Amino acid sequence: MKLAGIACAGLLLLADGAAAQEGGKAITKTTISLGTATPGGGFPVYGNAFTEVMNAADPALSIEPRNTKGSNENIPLLESDQLDIALVAGEPSYEAFMGIGRTATKLKILTAMYSSPGMFVVRADSPYKTIRDLVGQPVAFGAKGSGLPILSRYILDGIGLKQDEDFKSIYLDRAGDGPAMVQDGRAAALWGAGVGWPGFAAMVQAPGGARFIAPDASEIARIRAKHTFLKPLTVPANSYPNQPAAIDSVGSWSFVLARESLPEDVAYRLARTLHGAEAVLCKKLPQACETTAANTVAAAPNAALIHPGVMKYFRETGVVK
């Protein structure tokens, strides 16, 4: 990761000496560091698509993705100005914004990424049909530093279950290790979230196939009564092979967060570039179709958490008044 330009203000933005060319003129590149997560998970997939689309849309931008341990590492890296922007799941974002178990963060939202309805996946020949069937079984809840285990903890708590007491919880070093553990029997189920999640895709494409297990309607009601910040979300039918019916669950929105000191003009430029290329990003990655200006406004816990530079762009384009 390039940390040039730290001087006075501690900024990470780097004016590259190797300038890009536009219309025959040299233009100074602005380098932005982007934290993602461990290989094999959804964040690196999204981060790579985001990077490719943004860099192509604005030749003066050079977004550089970096694998991290995930949401729980990305937040302190942003707070210490070691990253410019980073991908953070909904639950870690919520806890950081609300000051749950920590001092409330001053990080800002650059954009909502996509919604993350949580669910389990098991082998198709598995005897497990409900969440309670998995009690006492080894379950892979995701990478250690990611937001997925936090989402599952809230959901299970909502139906009266304790993640580390009622299950033989497995926390992964790499998100991509989960599907193989279910396939070879080391784990009964794998927890994940959303459309296009690599762990789910690997499971449904494996020999023998897979099935999903999500909270039922009564469990969803109990979860939302206890944890009101979780939203009812749906995985549309045919989001994965051999998934003919929609799957209802609960979850939250993941965000691209920015360090507090990211200059307003830079955030404005990133927002303008991103939302000008929404259709291109959607075409490249199905789950990124939810990365829209309207969804950002709707998903933010409150508008004050959106970066001022982004809000300036939203006001200019009529997304907010």
Q: Are 30 and 13 in contact (CB under 8 A)?
A: yes
Query: CB atoms < 10 A from the CB of 9, how many?
Result: 11
Segment 68-86, tens digit of pLDDT: 999 999 999 999 999 999 9
Domain boundaries defined on the chain: 14-115+254-317, 116-252
What's the pLDDT score for residue 18? 43
Segment 53-71, tens digit of pLDDT: 999 999 999 999 999 999 9
Segment 185-222, tens digit of pLDDT: 999 999 999 999 999 999 999 999 999 999 999 999 99
Question: Rounded to an integer, what distance in angstroms lies between the CA atom of residue 59 and that of residue 142?
Answer: 36
SS3 content of the chain, % helix, strand, coil (to 5): 40, 25, 35
* pLDDT tops 60 at residue 278: yes
- Model confidence at 104, pLDDT cuts 50, 70, 90, reads very high
- Model confidence at 25, pLDDT cuts 50, 70, 90, reads low
What's the pLDDT score for residue 145? 82
* pLDDT tops 50 at residue 5: no
Segment 29-51, tens digit of pLDDT: 899 999 999 998 899 999 999 99
- The answer to whether the 14-115+254-317 and 116-252 domains have the same CATH topology is yes
Q: Assign domain 116-252 to its CATH architecture.
A: 3-Layer(aba) Sandwich (3.40)
Among 319, 263, 270, 297, smallest CA distance to 34 is for 270
What's the pLDDT score for residue 144? 85
The rounded mean pLDDT for the chain is 92
Running DSSP on this structure, what letter comes out for residue 105? Answer: P
* pLDDT tops 50 at residue 9: no
* pLDDT tops 60 at residue 14: no
Question: Rounded to an integer, what distance in angstroms lies between the CA atom of residue 167 and that of residue 173?
Answer: 19
Percent of the chain with pLDDT over 90: 87
Question: Rounded to an integer, what distance in angstroms lies between the CA atom of residue 174 and that of residue 146?
Answer: 10
Segment 129-145, tens digit of pLDDT: 999 999 999 999 998 88
Q: Assign domain 14-115+254-317 to its CATH architecture.
A: 3-Layer(aba) Sandwich (3.40)
Q: Are 71 and 87 in contact (CB under 8 A)?
A: yes
Instruction: Note the pTM of the prediction, 2 decimals.
Output: 0.83
Parallel, antiparallel, or unpaired for β 247-258 and 108-123?
antiparallel
Parallel, antiparallel, or unpaired for β 189-193 and 25-35?
unpaired
